[in-house]
Structure 1
Amino acid sequence: MVLDLSTLPLAFQFTSPGPILVKLGAITIRWYGLLIATAVLIGVNLSQYLAKRRHVNPDLLSDLAIWLVIGAIPGARLYYVIFEWQKYVSHPEQIIAIWQGGIAIHGAIIGGAIAALIFAKLNRVSFWQLADLVAPSLILGQAIGRWGNFFNSEAFGSPTDLPWKLYIPLVRRPPELANFEYFHPTFLYESLWNVMVFLLLMFIFLRGLRNKSKLKVGTLALLYLPTYSLGRLWIEGLRTDSLMLGPLKMAQVISLVGIGLGLAGLAWLYVVKRQLPDVVSPNKSD
């Protein structure tokens, strides 16, 4: 029996209502900003909950959240601008126009990791303990934030006629694809993938609470790298707006690095059997 996908309801077809949620005089509230703020709020509360379950001071996570925002948002924008420099060199005033889109999650991760390392050293806490508590919030935040691409009509894939196709306005299409109307909703693919990674990390975290001797500090953070990167690797292959490094898609290069680092770190923890404590005291230096 052959399934005819063309018979599926047209409701699967996505059309963005636009980037602006509401405009009140001089105040404009954009979907992208609202989604990022929502992701941060949910992430902080989730990380604090996980900290309590690991007997770590939850106030550390609210303090860390400020550092992560300070490091992640400029890092995400700077990363994007560097690889799209030709676009901004003649319009430098647009470099700070983050509300128009144009951020890169890998830049956010790098900027956030640097901020977390500094925070951990200043507060004499374990970086890996903090990373474990943040990893589920991070991937859930990515799942939420990807919908900002939907409202901005960006980060879409190649043309398609699948029932869940995404309509892209002419002004947002690449010139070479101007005659196509519908594209792969890669924002949706990655959002769903990230939700699955989130559920996996939460399952392992909660299971680890019942059997602490088997879950080492750093496991969730290291597992995040290959699980997220595997999804990003194949989804990026569908996208038409990738940041490029010569002929290579930069996100795929970074994803391969993430897979390698994550697997190597997990092997180091569980095969080499490095002796790390199961729960690091917040008062103990990294």
Structure 2
Amino acid sequence: MNPVAFSIGGFDIRWYGILIATGIMLGIIISQYNCKWREADYDNLLNIVLISIPIGIIGARLYYVIFEFNNYKNNIIEAFNIRNGGLAIHGGLIFALGTALIYTKIKKLSFIKFADVAAPSIILAQALGRWGNFFNQEAHGDVVTYEFIKHFPMFIQKGMNIGGLYYNPTFLYESAWNLAIFAILMIVLRKSKKNGVVFFSYIGLYSVGRFIIEGMRTDSLMLGNIRMAQLISLSGIIVWIIFMVLNYYKCIVKGSACKE
């Protein structure tokens, strides 16, 4: 599996970067279309995106390097090289959403309205980004038998053949799960006008899948014996449940609000 798509003047352009950039561009296009469902101003959304994305990438790398610092402490310069992978989505989300929250607070805009619009785009970008992991031959699971891997397309079999051994393509499971969430969120965005339902559904649904799939991976970022992605996913599930319970309670109290 060649992680390099092509070279320009001796500089390698990797599939990892291409897929992340493609996910971002598709996300921006889709968010423009989705703005009308929340009457959100696209220019403000674009400003939020253009500020949040670079900070999110920095956060994704910083988060990864912190937990893998032993691999970088003797070569700090390598910590700035993201072409070979090493972006932690949870770190990216924390920094990007934090930036968006601060921006909307300063501009006196509704964070949750823009978060609802952006949520389908975010999960679609994540789904495409997992294929960057495929080309880098990372984010996979344990060694599996040929009897197991033979049920996948040939290109998956070849990509997951690393050093003569076949590995469980957990990147594929997460990508497929993320695409399913994208479809669900696009429907919910149109069916429900209640602020926060789309965004918190994104947090909850992604967290459920990530918690399960993370348990299969061999390259998890660890805090002692705890897989950090599972810990954060569990927190995301709890936040989702709390939001849904409170939302349901408000529906019971206000009655007509449930019909919106």
TM-score (norm 2): 0.90
Q: 1:204 aligns with which of 179, 188, 194?
A: 188
Q: Does 1:58 align with 2:42?
A: yes
| CA deviation map 1:57-81 (0-9, x unaligned) | 1111211111121221001001100
Write the distance in 2 (CA, Å) between the matches of 1:270 and 1:139: 25
Write the distance in 2 (CA, Å) between the matches of 1:34 and 1:78: 21
Partner of 1:148: 132
User: Unpaired segments of 5 or more residues in structure 2?
Assistant: none
**Residue 22 of structure 1: SS of its match in structure 2?**
strand
Partner of 2:165: 181
Write the distance in 1 (CA, Å) between the matches of 2:215 and 2:67: 18
Partner of 1:216: 194
Write the distance in 1 (CA, Å) between the matches of 2:180 and 2:249: 26
**Residue 23 of structure 1: SS of its match in structure 2?**
strand
Write the distance in 2 (CA, Å) between the matches of 1:98 and 1:46: 26
**Residue 20 of structure 2: SS of its match in structure 1?**
helix
Instruction: Report if aligned partners of 2:40, 2:114 keep a CA contact under 8 Å in 1.
Output: no
Write the distance in 2 (CA, Å) between the matches of 1:47 and 1:270: 27
Deviation at 1:98, TM superposition (A): 0.8
- Aligned residues with identical type, % of pairs: 43
Instruction: Report if aligned partners of 2:140, 2:217 keep a CA contact under 8 Å in 1.
Output: yes
Partner of 2:75: 91
**Residue 98 of structure 1: SS of its match in structure 2?**
coil
Q: Does 1:230 align with 2:208?
A: yes
Deviation at 1:20, TM superposition (A): 0.4
Instruction: Report if aligned partners of 1:149, 1:187 keep a CA contact under 8 Å in 2.
Output: yes
Segment of structure 1 superposing worse, 78-87 or 48-57: 48-57
Q: 1:103 aligns with which of 67, 77, 87?
A: 87
TM-score (norm 1): 0.82
Q: Which runs of 4+ in 1 moved over 4 A?
A: none
Q: Does 1:32 align with 2:25?
A: no
**Residue 100 of structure 1: SS of its match in structure 2?**
coil
Letter in 1 for 2:104: A
User: Unpaired segments of 5 or more residues in structure 1?
Assistant: 1-16, 171-179, 209-214, 279-286
Partner of 2:105: 121
Deviation at 1:160, TM superposition (A): 1.1
More helix by share: 2
Letter in 2 for 1:251: A
Partner of 2:59: 75
Q: Does 1:241 align with 2:219?
A: yes
Deviation at 1:245, TM superposition (A): 0.8
Write the distance in 2 (CA, Å) between the matches of 1:196 and 1:231: 11
Matches within 5 A, 1:238-277: 238-273=216-251
Q: 2:162 aligns with which of 166, 169, 186?
A: 169
Deviation at 1:272, TM superposition (A): 3.7
Point out the structure with max Rg over C-alpha: 1
Deviation at 1:185, TM superposition (A): 0.5
Instruction: Report if aligned partners of 1:48, 1:59 keep a CA contact under 8 Å in 2.
Output: no
Write the distance in 2 (CA, Å) between the matches of 1:85 and 1:61: 35
Instruction: Report if aligned partners of 1:120, 1:127 keep a CA contact under 8 Å in 2.
Output: yes
**Residue 7 of structure 2: SS of its match in structure 1?**
strand
**Residue 189 of structure 1: SS of its match in structure 2?**
helix
